[in-house]
A and B are shown apart, each in its own frame.
Chain A
Amino acid sequence: MDVAAIELKNITKRFGKIVANNNVCLSVYRGEILSLLGENGSGKTTLMNMISGIYFPDEGNIYIDGKEVVIRSPKDAFDYKIGMIHQHFKLINVFTAAQNIVLGLKSKEKFDIKTVSKQVKAISEQYGFDLDPNKKVYEMSVSEKQTVEIIKVLYRGADILILDEPTAVLTPQETQKLFAILRRMRDAGKAIIIITHKLHEVLALSDKVAVLRKGEYIGTVNTAETNESELTEMMVGKKISLNINRSEPKDLVDRITVEGLTCINPEGIKTLDNVSFSARSGEILGIAGIAGSGQRELLESIAGLQQIENGSIIYHNPKTGADDELRGKSPIKIRDLGVRLSFVPEDRLGMGLVGNMDIIDNMMLRSYRKGKSIFLERKKPKDLAERIISDLEVVTPSAQTPVRKLSGGNVQKVLVGREISASPTVLMAAYPVRGLDINSSYAIYNLLNQQKEKGVAVIFVGEDLDVLIELCDRILVLSSGKVSGIVDGRGADKSNIGLMMTSYSGGEAYENV
């Protein structure tokens, strides 16, 4: 076909100073599957949200069937027959599949849920879905819920479909089933865009691949004419020098040894699969991986917050010299041994700090048990809060300011500062620089380095490969819950790590493609 179903020309989107998409061009034809590939934070979802009407582009034009269009709301997107299936399902749990599918649709026809069920059945049969329209959503598996979402957009007549990381929550078998359906939809003449960062899926499914890197449009290639290493290079780019100070590790002693660690989430999927490694005092161990590859579960297992299916975590206690098994110990006991976790989740206040309490009270969250009398001892936490404020240059009117009123970077400094102040022997930091500006990021890097020089075993989970390579002594690469390798931070090859992150697992599920 000559005219693209949807074409983006020079799309730019900024959030404040951050450029989420810069000059992106993209086109998809009917009867074609396009993969949109990129690392976390490369702007894939932002771009797709502009097509589905959630964001409005600052610059650039969108064409549908060659005609320029303006998409201002999700409703406009529906009208142009664009349907987006989000990563997080938007379904009403107590409604049936059919009720969810018809929800919000305006029609002059008499409302009869039985007719809707029949129509849903017809769509299911056409594309090979397996769905009972009268099943309640709360009784459904993740894959069934996804099916409801897809049928929902098809029922609304969508012929341009966007799927945001549809396989992230699926088992390999379910993924295969989904891919078969997507191919059938492609053959029926629909234009499909699938957002993903799994290379093997890209190669197995799509006709074309468009690559984004840090908001920049890198290019589009035909899947048949490319291979994994070329795509990886497009995705991660050339190495950038950051000049983070990195001292040579001294007095390396094993501090934590993890053996065969396996965790299973409530959906029955292995979040960690036979993970083994050791963290040593006096070095920073980096953990690299696509978001959701098991980083969170790994840290939480060590901190005692995860149900562990199998394996052991041995802590080599520097004070007593004994080897302690951490599995089965309560989080408080583990903390008392000197293992500290500073986790910065997507919403920074979610774990570790209480937004409505001031900085001093948040310090006390970790220390109030120490007091002997029934009254709280406020002097020490106050000193600590003031020390953190001056040492880490936390911008706040006073130590009595509620934490939620601070900016994101300052909140993180408070959190990291508190964990470091307990002089831990193991410090785990997950995404400690998430959303921080450059100066604050370097302040955090320096803090971690200081801890390392003091002989602390630091575990650093990061998103940016450049940072990991410059900061860490060793980098453990996770891929779908498995360790795909441990590499030396010095002289590590960025595209090699990128490849390890994306293409370790699930190989056998796609071999018949």
Chain B
Amino acid sequence: MIVTLLLCIVVTQLILFVLGFSSNNTFYEFINAAIIQGVPLLFGATGEIITEKSGNLNLGIPGIMYIGGISGIVGGYLYENSTAAPIGALCIIIPLLSSFLGSALMALIYCFLTVTLRVNQNVTGLALTTFGVGIGNFLGGSLLKFFGRTGSISLNKIAPYFKAKLPFADSLGNFGKTYLSFGFLAYLAIIIAICASFFLNRTRAGLSLRAVGENPATADATGINVTRYKYLSTIIGSMIAGLGGLYFVMDYTGGAWTNNGFGDRGWLAIALVIFAIWRPTSAIFSSFLFGGLYMLCIYIPGLSSSTTELINMLPYVVTILILIVISMRNKRENQPPASLGLSYFREER
């Protein structure tokens, strides 16, 4: 897995070299921007992969990522306003915990509806997305009014902790600027993806989780608690995805909230799951690729607005192509979990 990472770096460097960009700062900026754009997608995709491996197709992820972001903002705002001299550690822990709480609550709603009450997963997920985006915009738009203030949210004291670079990044020239200049959440995204891959492929619990997503009746018969696995993987997956929202509001926008600012990144994360054929390690490289495609229009000079929209379509077009390719190759390992989207209930005999 670390090999994959190194490979990413080597490949990008190679592209730079081949294209003769080695001294071109714009291209380094582009790579850097691609990674920054990729991080929220990677969080979302890793979370969704873990969720989908249990057979739960959680289309509520875009909403959950909104909630993950706004919960962090609310937590951070309340802390920033409660004390004159915020403590560094709490500046990170409080937004993190409130983000976790918000995403976990959303996942709990999803699980209660789809696992316990066996409501259709697609309907529930779509409803949660609408709900999450709505709640996010409502809180974002009215948080200051609750406290009788005007203006817009901006967490000046907390955000810098999320944006802090590695101390030696600037001294390493272009390499440092391109690969080491991110806040800690970016590195966490990669670590979580690698851990998720290890968990799914090398542990007993991971094996059980995949069994639940493939064939819950079989898993049940071998004594695996299907309901527990579905709840836990969906909740943990959502908490990871929520971090993507948190990264966006704390690091990317620097503690400011704009309504609908997160955009369609949640859907992109779901597309990324398919693109990465349900493998967290593939998601790492793919997320940076998607991030690059997302940013491409800015780095191509002289585009009209309609061409910009066409370029923005690229990630989705690539995903459709991947779907066609994997269905044509028809390799069983590359297929989605067999019971994805289906509710399980032990039949009344």
Q: How far is the CA of A55 from the CA of B349 in the complex (A)?
A: 9
Q: What 10 A-B pairs are tightest by C-beta distance, nearest first?
A: A104-B222, A90-B218, A111-B204, A104-B223, A92-B214, A90-B221, A104-B224, A103-B222, A75-B223, A92-B215
A103 touches B214 (CB 8 A): no
B203 touches A111 (CB 8 A): yes
Q: How far is the CA of A74 from the CA of B214 in the complex (A)?
A: 21
**Cβ contacts B189-232/A at 8 Å (1 or 0 each):** 00000000000001110011011001101110111100000000
A93 at the interface (CB under 8 A from B): yes
Q: How far is the CA of A94 from the CA of B207 in the complex (A)?
A: 11
B217 touches A103 (CB 8 A): no
Question: Closest residue of chain B to A89, judged by CB?
Answer: B218
Q: In the assembled complex, how far is the CB of residue B53 from the closest CB belonging to chain A, in whole angstroms?
A: 12
Residues of B within 8 A of A138 (CB): 332
Residues of A within 8 A of B207 (CB): 95, 99, 102-103, 111
B264 at the interface (CB under 8 A from A): no
**Cβ contacts B274-289/A at 8 Å (1 or 0 each):** 0000000000000000
Residues of A within 8 A of B223 (CB): 74-75, 78, 104
Residues of B within 8 A of A75 (CB): 223
Q: In the assembled complex, how far is the CB of residue A327 from the closest CB belonging to chain B, in whole angstroms?
A: 32
A76-100 interface with B by 8 A CB criterion: 78, 90-95, 99
Q: How far is the CA of A187 from the CA of B219 in the complex (A)?
A: 32
Residues of B within 8 A of A99 (CB): 207
Task: Report if A104-B214 is in contact (Cβ < 8 Å); known contacts: A93-B338, A94-B332, A94-B338.
Answer: no
The 26 listed contacts between A and B (C-beta, < 8 Å) are A74-B221, A75-B223, A90-B218, A90-B221, A92-B210, A92-B214, A93-B214, A93-B215, A93-B332, A93-B338, A94-B214, A94-B338, A95-B210, A95-B211, A102-B204, A103-B207, A103-B208, A103-B218, A103-B219, A103-B224, A104-B208, A104-B211, A104-B222, A105-B204, A111-B202, A111-B207
**Cβ contacts B121-155/A at 8 Å (1 or 0 each):** 00000000000000000000000000000000000
Task: Report if A92-B332 is in contact (Cβ < 8 Å); known contacts: A78-B223, A99-B207, A104-B208.
Answer: no
Q: In the assembled complex, how far is the CB of residue B156 from the closest CB belonging to chain A, in whole angstroms?
A: 48
Chain A CB count within 10 A is highest, among B219, B222, B333, for B222
Q: How far is the CA of A138 from the CA of B217 in the complex (A)?
A: 17
Question: Closest residue of chain A to B203, judged by CB?
Answer: A111
Q: How far is the CA of A107 from the CA of B210 in the complex (A)?
A: 18
Q: How far is the CA of A54 from the CA of B221 in the complex (A)?
A: 10
Q: How far is the CA of A54 from the CA of B215 in the complex (A)?
A: 19
CB within 8 A of B219: which of A54, A78, A104?
Answer: A104
Q: How far is the CA of A507 from the CA of B349 in the complex (A)?
A: 37
A102-135 interface with B by 8 A CB criterion: 102-107, 111
Residues of A within 8 A of B214 (CB): 92-95
Question: Closest residue of chain A to B334, judged by CB?
Answer: A94
Residues of A within 8 A of B215 (CB): 90-93
Q: How far is the CA of A103 from the CA of B205 in the complex (A)?
A: 9
Q: How far is the CA of A111 from the CA of B349 in the complex (A)?
A: 35
Q: How far is the CA of A36 from the CA of B108 in the complex (A)?
A: 48
Total CB contacts across the A-B interface at under 8 A: 58
Q: How far is the CA of A485 from the CA of B297 in the complex (A)?
A: 79
Residues of B within 8 A of A92 (CB): 210-211, 214-215, 218-219
Q: In the assembled complex, how far is the CB of residue B64 from the closest CB belonging to chain A, in whole angstroms?
A: 28
Chain B residues within CB distance 8 Å of chain A: 202-204, 207-208, 210-211, 214-215, 217-219, 221-224, 332-333, 335, 338, 349
Residues of A within 8 A of B203 (CB): 111
**Cβ contacts A392-429/B at 8 Å (1 or 0 each):** 00000000000000000000000000000000000000
Q: How far is the CA of A106 from the CA of B225 in the complex (A)?
A: 12
A270 at the interface (CB under 8 A from B): no
Q: How far is the CA of A444 from the CA of B207 in the complex (A)?
A: 51
Q: In the assembled complex, how far is the CB of residue A225 from the closest CB belonging to chain B, in whole angstroms?
A: 37
Residues of A within 8 A of B211 (CB): 92, 95, 103-104
A136 at the interface (CB under 8 A from B): yes
Residues of B within 8 A of A78 (CB): 223
Chain B CB count within 10 A is highest, among A54, A91, A92, A93, for A92
Question: Closest residue of chain A to B218, judged by CB?
Answer: A90
Residues of A within 8 A of B204 (CB): 102, 105-107, 111
Residues of B within 8 A of A103 (CB): 207-208, 211, 218-219, 222, 224
Task: Report if A136-B221 is in contact (Cβ < 8 Å); known contacts: A93-B214, A103-B207.
Answer: no
Residues of A within 8 A of B202 (CB): 111
**Cβ contacts A23-51/B at 8 Å (1 or 0 each):** 00000000000000000000000000000
Q: How far is the CA of A94 from the CA of B213 in the complex (A)?
A: 11
Q: In the assembled complex, how far is the CB of residue B55 from the closest CB belonging to chain A, in whole angstroms?
A: 12
Q: How far is the CA of A312 from the CA of B204 in the complex (A)?
A: 55
Residues of B within 8 A of A107 (CB): 204
Question: Closest residue of chain B to A106, judged by CB?
Answer: B204
B219 touches A94 (CB 8 A): no
Residues of A within 8 A of B218 (CB): 90-92, 103
Q: In the assembled complex, how far is the CB of residue B192 from the closest CB belonging to chain A, in whole angstroms?
A: 21
Residues of B within 8 A of A136 (CB): 332
Apart from A94-B338, A95-B207, A136-B332: 14 A-B pairs, beta carbons within 8 A = A74-B223, A90-B217, A92-B214, A92-B215, A92-B218, A93-B338, A95-B210, A95-B211, A99-B207, A103-B211, A103-B218, A104-B208, A104-B224, A111-B203
**Cβ contacts A46-76/B at 8 Å (1 or 0 each):** 0000000011000000000000000000110
Residues of B within 8 A of A94 (CB): 214, 332-333, 335, 338
Q: How far is the CA of A78 from the CA of B223 in the complex (A)?
A: 10
Question: Closest residue of chain B to A99, judged by CB?
Answer: B207
Q: How far is the CA of A170 from the CA of B224 in the complex (A)?
A: 30
Q: In the assembled complex, how far is the CB of residue A291 from the closest CB belonging to chain B, in whole angstroms?
A: 18
Question: Closest residue of chain A to B222, judged by CB?
Answer: A104
Residues of A within 8 A of B221 (CB): 74, 90
Q: How far is the CA of A404 from the CA of B88 in the complex (A)?
A: 62
Q: In the assembled complex, how far is the CB of residue B174 from the closest CB belonging to chain A, in whole angstroms?
A: 43
Q: How far is the CA of A122 from the CA of B215 in the complex (A)?
A: 28
Q: In the assembled complex, how far is the CB of residue B279 from the closest CB belonging to chain A, in whole angstroms?
A: 13
Q: How far is the CA of A91 from the CA of B222 in the complex (A)?
A: 10
Question: Closest residue of chain A to B224, judged by CB?
Answer: A104
Q: In the assembled complex, how far is the CB of residue A135 from the closest CB belonging to chain B, in whole angstroms?
A: 13
Q: In the assembled complex, how far is the CB of residue B206 from the closest CB belonging to chain A, in whole angstroms?
A: 9
Question: Closest residue of chain A to B221, judged by CB?
Answer: A90
Q: In the assembled complex, how far is the CB of residue B277 from the closest CB belonging to chain A, in whole angstroms?
A: 13
Q: How far is the CA of A74 from the CA of B223 in the complex (A)?
A: 8
Q: How far is the CA of A54 from the CA of B332 in the complex (A)?
A: 31
Q: In the assembled complex, how far is the CB of residue A73 from the closest CB belonging to chain B, in whole angstroms?
A: 8
Question: Closest residue of chain B to A104, judged by CB?
Answer: B222
Q: How far is the CA of A104 from the CA of B210 in the complex (A)?
A: 11
A307-330 interface with B by 8 A CB criterion: none
Residues of A within 8 A of B208 (CB): 103-104
Q: How far is the CA of A94 from the CA of B200 in the complex (A)?
A: 14
Q: How far is the CA of A209 from the CA of B206 in the complex (A)?
A: 44
**Cβ contacts A126-165/B at 8 Å (1 or 0 each):** 0000000000101000000000000000000000000000
Chain A CB count within 10 A is highest, among B208, B211, B338, B349, for B211
Question: Closest residue of chain A to B215, judged by CB?
Answer: A92
Q: In the assembled complex, how far is the CB of residue B152 from the closest CB belonging to chain A, in whole angstroms?
A: 50
Q: In the assembled complex, how far is the CB of residue A20 from the closest CB belonging to chain B, in whole angstroms?
A: 11
Q: In the assembled complex, how far is the CB of residue B221 from the closest CB belonging to chain A, in whole angstroms?
A: 5
Q: How far is the CA of A55 from the CA of B222 in the complex (A)?
A: 16
Q: How far is the CA of A103 from the CA of B349 in the complex (A)?
A: 24
Question: Closest residue of chain B to A112, judged by CB?
Answer: B202
Q: How far is the CA of A104 from the CA of B208 in the complex (A)?
A: 6
Q: How far is the CA of A259 from the CA of B287 in the complex (A)?
A: 63
Chain A CB count within 10 A is highest, among B203, B207, B214, B349, for B207
Q: How far is the CA of A279 from the CA of B349 in the complex (A)?
A: 38
